[in-house]
A and B are shown apart, each in its own frame.
Chain A
Amino acid sequence: MQFKLKYEGNWVESERVVSLPTGLWRFQKPVMKTGKCCQCGWCYIFCPTGSVHEKDGYFVVDLENCKGCGVCASVCPNYAIAMVKEAVE
């Protein structure tokens, strides 16, 4: 018998839930256009999955959990985020 769960029932350590890759079914991804960002942080505030992180005053997207919903692109006042289709093989 091969087991993966540490506990009986559906108990999991919350750390594990956060680290699960949940963005695998994304068909488009946000791409930040350098030079256009005004550092307002709206993408960071509005991202429903918490996938936008701050880095040196600017913002980067963690694609592990990004679903490609495009909320960040639509709230960006400077049109600094482009939604780009994921490559299809």
Chain B
Amino acid sequence: MKVEGAAKGEIKVCDGNRAAAYGVLLSKPNVVAIYPITPQTSLIEYLTEFKASGLLNAEIVEVEGEISAMGVAIGTSLAGGRTFTATSSMGLNFMFDTYFMASLSRVPVVMVNANRELSPAAVSAGQQDIMSVADTGWVHIHTEGCQEILDSIIMAYKLAEAPEVLLPVTVCYDGFYLSYLAEPIKIPSQEDVDRFLPQIPRPRLGLDPPMSGASTMIPEELTEARYKHQAALERAKSKIEEVDKEFAKLFGRSYGGLIEEYRMDDAEIALVSMGSHTGTARAAVDKKRQQGHQVGLIKVRVFRPFPWERLAEALRHKKAVGVIDRSICFGWNCGHLFHELQVTLHRTGFTTPTLDFIDGLGGGDVTMVHIERAIDITHDASRGKPFNELTWLALE
């Protein structure tokens, strides 16, 4: 198979995994350590193909499992390298030990997670896997399309390596829906990406001075490290906005930073969504607008750190809010996005009716019909009609 390099402004038809592979190729990592898992496997195949054809100048480490993949990523990143890894579903679960270690060690590893359901034997789309590791101190960026995957990986390195942030970043895309969906994407030129991603010095293992990384800490030190870690996540919020603006200036594409607002200016009710079904939600909002409903859409791009300030600002004065969730927050009878939104509303003192719609579990489609139904129910709630807080759209 013939592989071509990334010529300036070239347009290619790529699926999500290939778009991710181009994002990695352009970011010039030193080390790539990945273990294959559906639906991420073809991403590794593309990267090894790039390496074999001489385009990718990185050490590709064939590891024996995901826990070692992240171990290699941490080690090489501590040594000062730019590293990449990718996984999905129970691969992410198997990685958990080192996944947590990466964020406390403050290594700027960039990772891809193709969101997938968890066991038993759920080889299908869903966001349950990434939600199970939401509170590990990583930055989680959720994407909507293949172009956004490529661009987000480049932006992720910029964010992760920023001296005021120094945190690992996971770029998430819904497995199957985006990993295998092919669409035309623009490949940025290598010179532009090089200009966007300069090497920034950071603490690393070496002899000048001799440094110890990822070391054990006494309680006072760990407390201080946790405090600084959390503060870095807060700083990451403004950095994400800044990186998005800088990216837009150089490449002409912007994703709104932490959240993207779609037709929200004059909206009475709002829909909140995250991931691949946001595209369907845009179409549903357009259709409902034609029918005279004042509905808008908010795409949550960054789930950690949670952009509650911007969400609160966007949802101010709305009469009702509907949330589409592709995972379950067990024990709270709602989805994860809805759970976060409840905290946001509590912090800001809003009493807006909020409704949760769980859909698309186990690879089920979040269809136009389902989203239109969600808009209808939210609309009724905004008019004072009694409503159920949670609706399982696929079970109605």
Contacts and interface: CB of A to CB of B under 8 A. Distances in A.
A11 B210 CA distance: 11
Contacts of B232: 8
B214 interface: yes
Interface stretch (B88-96, B221-229, B262-270): B221-229
B211 A3 contact: no
A9 B220 CA distance: 13
A15 B228 CA distance: 23
Interface residues of A, number: 14
A17 B212 CA distance: 8
Contacts of B221: 4-5, 10
A24 interface: no
Interface residues of B, number: 24
A10 B217 CA distance: 7
Interface string B281-318: 00000000000000000000000000000000000000
A8 B215 contact: no
Contact of B212 (A4, A8, A14): A14
A57 to B, nearest CB: 30
B104 interface: yes
Contact of A17 (B166, B215, B220, B224): B215
Given A10-B214, A13-B209, A5 B224 contact: yes
Interface in B195-211: 203, 209-211
A7 B203 contact: yes
A7 B211 CA distance: 11
Contacts of A11: 106, 203, 211-213, 215
A71 interface: no
B202 to A, nearest CB: 9
A13 B205 CA distance: 10
Contacts of B344: none
Interface string A14-37: 110100000000000000000000
Given A10-B104, A10-B105, A15-B209, A5 B215 contact: no
B227 A10 contact: no
A10 B215 contact: yes
Contacts of A14: 209-212
Contacts of B224: 3-5
A43 to B, nearest CB: 27
A24 to B, nearest CB: 12
Contacts of A9: 104-107, 166, 203, 213, 225, 228-229
Contacts of A1: 227
Contacts of B213: 9-11
Nearest to B105: A9
A12 B212 contact: yes
A12 B215 contact: yes
Interface in B131-182: 166
B210 A4 contact: no
Nearest to B207: A14
Interface string B90-129: 0000000000000011110000000000000000000000
B210 A8 contact: no
Contacts of A17: 212, 215
Nearest to B227: A1
B200 to A, nearest CB: 13
B85 to A, nearest CB: 19
A10 B225 contact: yes
A9 B107 CA distance: 9
Interface of B: 104-107, 166, 203, 209-217, 220-222, 224-225, 227-229, 232
Given A4-B220, A15-B209, 20 more contacts: A1-B227, A3-B224, A4-B221, A5-B224, A5-B228, A8-B166, A8-B232, A9-B213, A10-B105, A10-B106, A10-B213, A10-B214, A11-B106, A11-B203, A11-B213, A12-B212, A12-B215, A13-B211, A13-B212, A14-B212
Interface of A: 1, 3-5, 7-15, 17
